[in-house]
Amino acid sequence: MQNDPSTIKGAETLMLGEMLTLPQNFGNIFLGETFSSYISVHNDSSQVVKDILVKADLQTSSQRLNLSASNSTVAELKPECCIDDVIHHEVKEIGTHILVCAVSYTTQYGEKLYFRKFFKFQTDEVFLEAQIQNITTSPMFMEKVSLEPSMMYNVTELNTVTHQDHGVSTFGKMSYLQPMDTRQYLYCLTPKPEYAEKAGVIKGVTVIGKLDIVWKTNLGERGRLQTSQLQRMAPGYGDIRLSMEVIPDTVSLEEPFDIRCKITNCSERTMDLLVDMINTASVHWCGVSGRPLGKLSPGASLSLPLTLLASVQGLQTISGLRLTDSFLKRTYEYDDVAQVCVVFSSQF
């Protein structure tokens, strides 16, 4: 490994080359696949560090998921030793996903340190498979099978392979469909740029397009069938979606800091919202709790600036936000809004 040019400098004994290291932006993962990653935190110093906390979160457009196998601290990590974890997540929504790996620890001098890394991937494609069967008693010549996408999507046909710089049908040269035979046609739909962000937050059933099928019988008679609009079931987000717009990476102990949340009404009714802020042992809210936010119509969003104060050092979870719809007397609680690193700041 010392002679391998892909080895990470200073970590040759880990047997982990750069070829296995995630880049900051590593492309696409498809809807329905399972994202897996191996996380290794290595102490490449000559000192023993203590109280090590390794946390892996996956931030989507609608929620923040904790993927760590354990949230407990490791008492100590000796030089040239590692803390390892394997994480898994089944991708159930499209849009940008950000893997946030955060590490906090204490040096032998009692200094609390913290760092984190971000890794981003997209899940933008929707794949459609259509099965067509000839249930007549005569062969059919399949003249055309195409997908006309809805206004939100671009479509790519995946029913040809490239051979000598031109496309060849995966069904061979003869486009005949014998009686009771079936074929599977595959298409990839990608949201248009102007709809890419909206595609990740659409609630309920989404129209993706319709199939246009043209064939000829053995006597040359032409037939055509166009399906109704095909639909896909997008993942639900509940009545209210809360996401983080602005949050600092690091804040000072016992000094107020500002964040900004975005609240979206994902239901089909108007809401009249109140916000309650409940203190925790480490994070305290500044401001009036129980104040009204006003009416929020279906599909609309509002930006909510908030001020907090942290009383404990280290990586702290911001929680304790509660939204209440005064129309239905329904309450929505958010116990893990975001994380923030709190450091001790002294002035001389």
Beta bridge partners of 189: 126, 155
Predicted structure pTM score: 0.44
pLDDT at res. 202:
47
pLDDT at res. 50:
92
pLDDT at res. 347:
47
User: What single-letter DSSP state applies at residue 270?
Assistant: -
DSSP-H helix ranges across 150-293: 196-199
Strand 112-123, strand 25-28: pairing: parallel
Question: 46, 80 in Cβ contact below 8 A?
Answer: no
Tell me the CA distances in angstroms from 214 to 59, 124, 132, 139, 226, one per residue in order.
Answer: 44, 30, 12, 14, 9
In angstroms, the CA 133 to CA 242 distance is 46
Q: Which pLDDT tens digits describe the chain residue by residue (348 residues)?
A: 667 665 666 665 655 554 456 665 566 777 677 888 888 888 888 899 999 999 998 887 777 888 887 778 899 999 989 888 888 888 877 777 888 888 999 998 888 888 888 887 766 677 888 889 998 888 999 889 999 998 888 898 888 887 777 778 888 777 788 898 889 999 988 877 776 655 444 444 568 889 999 999 888 889 999 988 887 765 555 688 888 888 888 899 999 999 999 998 877 788 999 999 999 988 999 999 999 999 998 878 899 999 999 998 887 888 899 999 988 888 888 877 777 878 876 543
How big is the chain, counted in residues?
Answer: 348
CATH class of the region 12-121: mainly beta
pLDDT at res. 346:
53
Place of tokens 């696409």: 28
- What single letter denotes the amino acid at residue 163? H
pLDDT at res. 303:
92
CATH class of the region 240-343: mainly beta
Portions of the chain given CATH number 2.60.40.10: 12-121, 240-343
Strand 250-252, strand 338-343: pairing: parallel
Question: 37, 54 in Cβ contact below 8 A?
Answer: no
pLDDT at res. 117:
83
Q: Determine the CATH number of domain 126-233.
A: 2.60.40
Beta bridge partners of 99: 58, 119
DSSP string, 277-315: E---SSEEEES-TTEEEEEE-TT-EEEEEEEEEE-S-EE
pLDDT at res. 100:
87
b (16+ CB within 10 A) / e for 154-175:
ebeeeeeeeeeeeeeeebeeeb
For residue 297, give the nearest of 263, 324, 321 by alpha carbon. 263
